[in-house]
Amino acid sequence: MAPDALHIVGTSPNRLDAREKVTGRTRYTTDLTLSAMVHAKVWRSPLPHARVDGIDTSAALAAPGVLAVLTAADLTNCDPYYGTAYKDQPILAGERIRYAGEPVAVVIAETERQATAALHLLDVSLSEYPAVLDTAAALAGDAPILHEHMRPAGHFRDLSHVRHVANTNICHHQTFSRGDIQAGFAEADELFEDTFSVPPIYHYAMEPHAVLAKYEQDSVTVWTATQHPFPVRKELAEIFHLPLAAVQVIVPPVGGAYGSKCYTKIEPLAVACARHVQRAVRLALTVSEACHTVTRHGVTCRVKTGVRRDGTITARQFDIILNTGAYADVGPRVATRASFVAPGPYRIAHVQADCRVVYTNTVPAGAFRGYGIPQVTWAGESQIDRIADHLGIDAMELRQRNLLHAGEEFSPGDLPMDADLPEGLRQTAETIDWPASPGPRRGKGIACAFKDGGIPHSVSTAVVRVHADGSATVFTGSIEHGQGSDTVLAQVASETLGIPLSQISLTSPDTSLTPYDQGTSASRTTTLMGRAVYEACIDARNQLLDMAAGLLNVPQADVSIQQGILIAGHERLTFAEAISQYFGLPGGEVIGKGEWQPSRASGSVGGSAVFWEIGMGGAEVEVDEETGAVHVLRYVSMADVGQAIHQQQCEAQDEGGAMQGLGSTLFEALISEDGQLLNPNLIDYRIPTFSDLPASFSTVLLQHANGPGPYGAKGVGESGMFCVAPAIGNAIARATGVRFYDLPLTPERIWRALRQARR
Amino acid sequence: MAPDALHIVGTSPNRLDAREKVTGRTRYTTDLTLSAMVHAKVWRSPLPHARVDGIDTSAALAAPGVLAVLTAADLTNCDPYYGTAYKDQPILAGERIRYAGEPVAVVIAETERQATAALHLLDVSLSEYPAVLDTAAALAGDAPILHEHMRPAGHFRDLSHVRHVANTNICHHQTFSRGDIQAGFAEADELFEDTFSVPPIYHYAMEPHAVLAKYEQDSVTVWTATQHPFPVRKELAEIFHLPLAAVQVIVPPVGGAYGSKCYTKIEPLAVACARHVQRAVRLALTVSEACHTVTRHGVTCRVKTGVRRDGTITARQFDIILNTGAYADVGPRVATRASFVAPGPYRIAHVQADCRVVYTNTVPAGAFRGYGIPQVTWAGESQIDRIADHLGIDAMELRQRNLLHAGEEFSPGDLPMDADLPEGLRQTAETIDWPASPGPRRGKGIACAFKDGGIPHSVSTAVVRVHADGSATVFTGSIEHGQGSDTVLAQVASETLGIPLSQISLTSPDTSLTPYDQGTSASRTTTLMGRAVYEACIDARNQLLDMAAGLLNVPQADVSIQQGILIAGHERLTFAEAISQYFGLPGGEVIGKGEWQPSRASGSVGGSAVFWEIGMGGAEVEVDEETGAVHVLRYVSMADVGQAIHQQQCEAQDEGGAMQGLGSTLFEALISEDGQLLNPNLIDYRIPTFSDLPASFSTVLLQHANGPGPYGAKGVGESGMFCVAPAIGNAIARATGVRFYDLPLTPERIWRALRQARR
């Protein structure tokens, strides 16, 4: 796989979708129309926890343009529940409502306006139950239990036995341990114990969730903005008792996702509507509705760390509580990832992590760029600095003493460290002139984190068709949601087949047309689907070599391919010539297929990492003590991409992650009162803009072409987000002498803390 | 390939498209709309042969809703000519018009009505040239030459050296000979020489030609009712200088074709319009316009046959003249097939056939069910009866003495006869109680013919995806135009994979999504694509067997598949279990691919037949001497299908062909005056209706499972048309004592002939 001379891999060609997008031509799901399409609007619960006593639909049904009103009672001949970890989420709340904003009924009308108007005519009688609005309340002994009966979805092998704690609101209790935590603490000279918190936040993809659905003659077609067309297909097939071949999930270009479009969301509801009215149905959420669909887990994290005076970490214990809201979504999976890597990329003999995923009467929390790592890293890496300060060891030096070296095992049996962490940290620090003192009210901070990237048991499959003129079409089910995967996958095909990018076209994801892919998440696409595309092209190459060998009457071994030309001695054949001579007519084609499943490739299904996704950050800040405002003067983000397929996009991915991290560090939070979201819109929920961009903002990419992806690539995209909060928090602590434990680091919070400290 | 116990092959399940079609839900090309779609209408020449002196578009351009007027002058940066044998047909006539009805200009407007209205505002100045309106005039020494320069399209290997005769209107001169024709005549006791004629007719598919086209960012998408999406893609790529991967040809359900939708027709014009206005363009022809797009070749055929007194045919000579109209279309190809099999399925030592394809100033003639065979069979088989009568040998007996036996070669090096012709003729005759005399004014007739079926050098490719639940999706580029191919291909997959038909879905033809197929013509789909689908399923089966062997730890040879269950000893695995256990998650899939090219499979590219498509007919008629009306009392059609995949559809195909043959025998003809078509509509051009159905109408199918297709299948669909005219003509001759040489056998023609004879 090591590249000899690369032609297009590593360069930065124009994105395939650039022109369409900048000219406004791209048609997202909401831009599509189907013949005789009708519109669905959702009536959502005003109460966080309640019983539905009755729904009077008569007035709504009599309203102009209204075709039907769908309630839970209409969900017959199907499984009315869905969910990725547990089948715990009702398509529509029947007897019981578990969060404010939960879908209870749907009005289907000829126009969206008519559907919206009729919503107000629904008469829903509710009896309020006492609600548990945070994890503390949910864990209290006398707390009402949100879910009595749990039904595992059996989707993830690593969740094959989901650890639900009966008769509690603990949806899932994940534990990891190595060595003997108590012995580890006993070996330590000093113990540090701190508790950190991170509020729930929203992904804020520019495109809210939207689905078009058709249900005709026992077959379903949905156009949906999802990151997981194949798992969505599977769940729809299960819900509506259909064969997979009868369920078609088509994914138009997606306007951002960041995890908010992972797995099944509103697809079952849209399909239920289409089945009910036997018309094509459009269900497009508003931003506020999307905020009431999925969020990022709010986290409370207690960290206890034992160290020797020389800075050696002897033991680390994490107690993590994830608020997963009213339904599990992928909460249990976030728990497995977050608790596994919470201790950080360090050499620690004794580790224990407990992660409880807790149900509350709030909006369900699910996947979000980083998958829990940013939250636990805020805790772990803030504490590392506190330890360094206390021991009087330079924060960079302390980390260097404990960082794993390449080849060292983080966890027995897992993939050895595949990145040069000390080098990465050195470059990160160097970029912000660490440790040079930046002057008054200024401070610098660094942080390190990592994640087991790629989902080792997941499969990606690709097909490439080389046409009779030598041009090619690549079939992949990967989702282009702005990250640039289409261009990257086309580059891999171009490089591997040796034909120009202009000769390659990509099919858009469609479960009926593109081969199986687990999904577009966990920074897996470039590595896993990239590898599948690579293997498919190699398969096609081998067939072309065979053709040429036969046509030129030489052994296959004597034929080589250089830049799309088949060469044997002095003989030369273009792909087009080989194909037309082979078939004896200007037709026919070569079909190559590639499948990649890391666990199978590596001959084992053990281990959790396909590659280690490294994230480091370095920040320099200035704090205005009068206002509490934090100005990030410099920020550097470090990632190990193995081999950049598209150099510019690797940087853009990493910088995008860092900017998103800047938002959740400095001001993003979903604020609730009595279980009601107060800021589900762009006015009240602030996200980073260019004015928040640090004056100096850069990315360091390690490239040793040592990844499992094509040409040595590794995934990137999530890691930029890991370290922003602790790097900035550590910088603020150095600038002000005050340490913060709770995000976001708003001016008000900082101003109050400084005022407190200066008293 | 021999089936052991068949489960679904040979049965007659409901057609996959039945419900959609009978409920009127099927959306044909004309039913589709694209966003911002505009409409194109064609201005056609009123003169058969003329020079274009100028086109004033100003008034039309000023008309409401008009976006543009396209003329030949606008066809820059592209090849303005297309054609399957020769690139001789202009997308729009520039300086020279060669037939009345030829496209000269196109108005593109917001609505179809606005475009039609503006057509009348075009001011086109023409100077009339002398026209050649029939082949006799075209072959006259002083005839104007329609095409000076010929450019072979290089599409067909068997037309690699197209035989154009310079400085004449002979587009192509095809010759075949075996033995020594003069020696053969010398061996004969009697010589017979007759000339027969067949007028041009129209296919009359219920759906006229229609195309939607988009041209965006150097890529083309067309939705078109075509039988040849891949050749159309190739020609569009050539015309507009694009890679094949940038040209997408999508084929919605087609409303009948019969050859009228073979190869490129109006697609280049639609794409040129879309490129010109940078909008999606719809170009949908009226029936009259479709009649001015393609017809069936009018033919004059001189036959000279030498026989011994015992009825042995010693020699046969054919001189065939095809009127191919103003442009070649596939005329040269029709010539190769028609002249090759013209002598009939007989043992004849000395054969010579000359076929001249002649340009005239009439509507181009192209492919039509039977591809020239019905025309030459009218000649050859009418004459056989004349010979039998003259020699006093029973017409059936005479044929039996000369018919090829199974295994005999018709032409050296070609596929030996694969059908039992004597048995087929015996059953045909028996079905109409041959030779029993039917009484006054009644007569019986029989005829035999055959065609080299399937196109031996053509390729079909298929892909099958077996999903994680064991259901499957089949990818084929074959066109469902009413003949039932979707159902047949799904049956082949169902039988081969051993899963129910309900678990199989088929993708619709799309050159960007479905793998290469040469086209849907020449009765090749069941045999060639059926075989490709079979091979793809076998490939998938083998992968499933490997999976199971690995999972069960047994050699692959110990695993078998029965009805979709993998079995090894007492162990049993469903496909779903094998796939999920193999991948270790409820995902992944198995992709099988199959390719079939008969010439490659048989290890040679020689020979013209993949299988012999046999057609025989038996008729009993009653002639009303007062009116000349012919009543067909009984008709039997015989075909050898090897193995019926869908029994009912095989019969329906054969009966459909016979009914279409009945029309061209009794009343169908395109009538022209001064080069103008007089009857391009359903009022003036009569096609058969149920009232024309013979009182007794049946089909005899030979099934010896000895075809090269899946489960021993052979193609069917064209052969029903071969023998209708001679069988009925021979019956009329026996009923009236008068022999007819010219089609159609209208009451007027018969009445006049009888009146003449009875004088």
- State pLDDT tens for residues B665-706: 999 999 999 999 999 998 999 999 999 999 999 999 999 999
pLDDT at B414: 86
| pLDDT tens per residue, range A92-138 | 999 999 999 999 999 999 999 999 999 999 999 999 999 999 999 99
Task: Find tokens 């608790």 and name the residue.
Answer: A339
Query: Are A586 and B512 within 8 A, CB to CB?
Result: no
| pLDDT tens per residue, range A561-607 | 998 899 999 999 999 999 999 998 878 999 999 999 987 666 443 46
Mean pLDDT of A624-633: 97
Domains within chain B, CATH numbers bracketed: 18-22+458-596 (3.30.365.10), 32-129+204-291 (3.90.1170.50), 295-455+602-758 (3.30.365.10)
Q: At what angle do helices B724-736 and B647-666 cross, to 10 degrees?
A: 50
Confidence of residue A2 (pLDDT cuts 50, 70, 90): very low
| pLDDT tens per residue, range B458-490 | 999 999 999 999 999 999 999 999 999 999 999
Dist. CA A551–CA A669, nearest whole Å: 66
Give the count of alpha carbons within 13 A of B306, CB side only.
18
Stretch 189-228 of chain A: residues touching chain B, C-beta under 8 Å: 216-217, 219
Query: Are B589 and A515 within 8 A, CB to CB?
Result: yes
pLDDT at B150: 87
Stretch 561-620 of chain B: residues touching chain A, C-beta under 8 Å: 583-589, 591, 593, 595, 597, 599-600, 605
Query: Are A230 and B461 within 8 A, CB to CB?
Result: no
Which amino acid is present at A551? L
| pLDDT tens per residue, range B374-403 | 999 999 999 999 999 999 999 999 999 999
| pLDDT tens per residue, range B749-759 | 999 999 999 88
Q: Which of A225-229, B340-344, B597-601 has the least mean pLDDT?
A: B597-601
**Cα dihedral B478→B481→B487→B490 (10° resolution):** 10
Query: Are B585 and A457 within 8 A, CB to CB?
Result: yes
CB-defined contacts A:B, below 8 A: 151
Query: Are A230 and B597 within 8 A, CB to CB?
Result: no
Distance of CA B205 to the CA centre of its chain: 12
Query: Are A237 and B156 within 8 A, CB to CB?
Result: no
Query: Are B458 and A585 within 8 A, CB to CB?
Result: yes
pLDDT at A290: 98
pLDDT at B2: 43
| pLDDT tens per residue, range A245-269 | 999 999 999 999 999 999 999 999 9
pLDDT tops 60 at residue B3: no
pLDDT at A503: 95
Option in B217, B230, B503 nearest A243 (CB): B503
Dist. CA A358–CA A213, nearest whole Å: 33
Interchain CB contact of A175 with B (< 8 Å): no
Measured between beta carbons, which residues in chain B are less than 8 angstroms from residue A155? Answer: 585-586
Q: Sort strands B295-296 and B365-366 into parallel, antiparallel or unpaired.
A: parallel
Mean pLDDT of B410-436: 95
Could you say which of A102, A207, A651, A718 is catalytic? A718
Strands annotated E in B516-570: 560-562, 565-568
Mean pLDDT of B315-330: 98
The DSSP code for A537 is H
pLDDT at B455: 84
Stretch 239-268 of chain A: residues touching chain B, C-beta under 8 Å: 243-246
pLDDT at A608: 76
Contact A693, A660 (CB under 8 A): no
Mean pLDDT of B703-725: 96
Could you say which of B187, B495, B718, B748 is catalytic? B718
| pLDDT tens per residue, range A671-728 | 999 999 999 998 999 999 999 999 999 999 999 999 999 999 999 999 999 999 999 9
Dist. CA A309–CA A51, nearest whole Å: 58
* Mutation to test the A interface, candidates B583, B597, B599, B602, most A Cβ within 10 Å: B583
CA distance A212 to chain B (A): 17
Mean pLDDT of B269-293: 98
| pLDDT tens per residue, range B45-68 | 999 999 999 999 999 999 999 999
Measured between beta carbons, which residues in chain A are less than 8 angstroms from residue B217? Answer: 19-20
pLDDT tops 70 at residue B427: yes
Stretch 445-464 of chain B: residues touching chain A, C-beta under 8 Å: 457-459, 461, 463
pLDDT tops 90 at residue B740: yes
| pLDDT tens per residue, range B109-137 | 999 999 999 999 999 999 999 999 999 99
Option in B33, B516, B591 nearest A593 (CB): B591
The per-residue pLDDT of chain A, averaged, comes to 95
More confident residue, A48 or B150: A48
pLDDT at B359: 98
pLDDT at A158: 59
CA distance B527 to chain A (A): 17
Q: Sort strands A298-307 and A313-325 into parallel, antiparallel or unpaired.
A: antiparallel
Contact B271, B222 (CB under 8 A): yes
| pLDDT tens per residue, range B538-572 | 999 999 999 999 999 999 999 999 988 999 999 99
**Cα dihedral A99→A666→A485→B468 (10° resolution):** -30
Option in B237, B505, B515 nearest A589 (CB): B515
Stretch 512-551 of chain B: residues touching chain A, C-beta under 8 Å: 512-513, 515-516, 518
Dist. CA B5–CA B408, nearest whole Å: 31
Contact B352, B506 (CB under 8 A): no
pLDDT at A3: 44
Say whether B423 is catalytic.
no
Option in B234, B513, B597 nearest A513 (CB): B513
Contact B275, B217 (CB under 8 A): no
| pLDDT tens per residue, range B582-616 | 998 878 999 999 999 987 666 443 467 899 999 99
Option in A35, A461, A589 nearest B591 (CB): A461
pLDDT tops 80 at residue A159: no
pLDDT tops 70 at residue B1: no
pLDDT at A547: 96
pLDDT at A131: 97
Option in B216, B243, B591 nearest A463 (CB): B591
Nearest CA in chain A to B219: A505
The 3-state secondary structure of A73-139 reads HHCCCCCCEECCCECCEECCCCCEECCCCCEEEEEEECCHHHHHHHHCCCEEEEEECCCCCCHHHHH
Query: Are A244 and B585 within 8 A, CB to CB?
Result: no
Of A468, A546, A97, A72, the closest CA to residue A268 belongs to A72
How many percent of chain A have pLDDT more than 70? Answer: 97
Option in B457, B461, B467 nearest A245 (CB): B467
Task: Find tokens 């009688």 and name the residue.
Answer: A125
